[in-house]
A and B are shown apart, each in its own frame.
Chain A
Amino acid sequence: MLLPEYIGSSSPLPESIATHLSSCLVCRVEADRLRQVAELLAEGRQSSWTPPSTLVDAVMARLDEKVESRIMGRLVVAGAVAVGLGVVVAVAATRRSSAALAAQFDS
């Protein structure tokens, strides 16, 4: 069975395959078919598709979303840190005042 590899290649066919092709009509027809497929596929490179008119705006909007979500993420983290610090300060203050009260009772 002939590999399409040989057919699409610009280099000459291996000698054994070329010899076989010259004497075998079935393989010659098959080789022609494969060559046409290879040519059609290569021609596909020349064609182009028009992108939707909204593509550029959609991309830029997605970039904005990413920035916004990153800012929001940082705000959330900053808020969480602030709340955490507040809790720590409050706990420390409570402990300090409890200790002061205990000291007053002791005295």
Chain B
Amino acid sequence: MSLHPVEPDKLWVIAARSGDRDAFRMLVEQNQRDVYTLAVRLVSDCHLAEDVAQETFVRAWRALPNFRGDSAFSTWLYRITVNTAWTHRGRQKRHRHADIDDVPAIADETRRHNPGHLDETLHLPEALGEALNSLSAEQRMVVVLKDVEGWSHNEIAELLDITTGAAKVRLHRARRRLRTLLADVDW
């Protein structure tokens, strides 16, 4: 008879499900980097990403009794992160308005002269980052989920509670906007 060692992650999940806080702490420590990284990609703001990561783990703790283990714990946590980022997108807009108020006047001047495009002297990697930041929260999330995280149209549609066709349309519009923003960039 061969023994099937249970992964430590699963042991902690089992313990945490029964209310063991130390076990849950281990899960938080183990998954914090992945959750935070995904949050940064989705909301592109470090402070807001921290809020999203915290809220993700709090939601996970509350929902743990319902976690049946059909998927890996990390996959389940990923989905909660995306949902949390999605519900935080309103806050993101407020954050961004505050940020815009903070930038030097010269940046405003540049935007006024060239509102639909990025600084032509930027190279592609920086320009792409800027362009992603210029998208609306909804558009950026769709692009990140599809083109960075590799989600399917169906998964995105399920998250946004829209049809697959509508998800494709949103993605197409977001990509078209990216192309417009990147049109003048030096490659």
Chain A residues proximal to chain B, CB less than 8 Å: 3-5, 8, 33-34, 36-38, 40-42, 44-45, 47-52, 55-56, 58-60, 62-63, 66
Contacts of A44 in B (CB 8 A): 41, 144, 148
For chain B, what secondary structure do more than half of its interface residues adopt (helix, strand, loop), or is it mixed? helix
For chain A, what secondary structure do more than half of its interface residues adopt (helix, strand, loop), or is it mixed? helix
Is the CB–CB distance between B37 and A37 below 8 Å? no
Closest to B34 in A: A48
B21 at the interface (CB under 8 A from A): yes
Is the CB–CB distance between A66 and B182 below 8 Å? no
Contacts of B32 in A (CB 8 A): 51, 55-56
B150 at the interface (CB under 8 A from A): yes
Count of CB-CB pairs between chains A and B under 8 Å = 79
Is the CB–CB distance between B58 and A66 below 8 Å? yes
Is the CB–CB distance between A59 and B149 below 8 Å? no
- How far is A45 from B61 in the complex, measured between Cα atoms in Å? 26
Whole-angstrom distance from the CB of A104 to the nearest CB of chain B? 60
The answer to whether A42 and B124 touch (CB under 8 A), given A4-B175, A49-B33, A56-B28, is no
Nearest 7 interchain pairs by C-beta: A51-B36, A41-B147, A59-B57, A48-B37, A49-B37, A44-B148, A49-B40
